[in-house]
Amino acid sequence: MLIMNMLIPLTMICFGKMFQNHPPKEINSTFGYRTTWSMKNKDTWKFAHKYFGKLWYICGLLLLPLSIILMLSVLGLEEKTIGYTGGMICVAQLLFLIGSILPVELALRKNFDQQGNRRQEL
């Protein structure tokens, strides 16, 4: 269960670093951060991946030790308790995984207009 609970944070760390430093070169509908806003043009695509990558990387770095500590705290307890704890950790991780979409979309809307043009700073 400990290994299983490490998968989501490790995925977030790896893909976060990759998206931050090497986003997919071409806008595509199969791989990467794909939303209507992120796919408007190359600028929004690159911005979204850099922002999303940084967010996932930080979340993964925070979730990994927390998950390990929580799983080690139930070591030796009943199988049911370990399973319940592991399941709750997984749900919390998924909330961070999916919840990271909202701040990226808000950042896209703040930095780009409806057509995908970068907003001018005042």
Residue with tokens 């670093």: 17
Q: How high is the pLDDT of residue 22? A: 94
Q: Which residues contact 55 (CB under 8 A, 6 or more apart)?
A: 16, 100, 103, 104
Q: How high is the pLDDT of residue 1? A: 85
Q: How high is the pLDDT of residue 122? A: 56
Q: How high is the pLDDT of residue 2? A: 86
- Within 10 angstroms of residue 82's Cβ, the number of other Cβ atoms is 16
Residue with tokens 């005042």: 122
Tell me the whole-structure pTM to 2 decimals.
Answer: 0.89
Ranges of residues in the chain whose predicted pLDDT is under 50: none
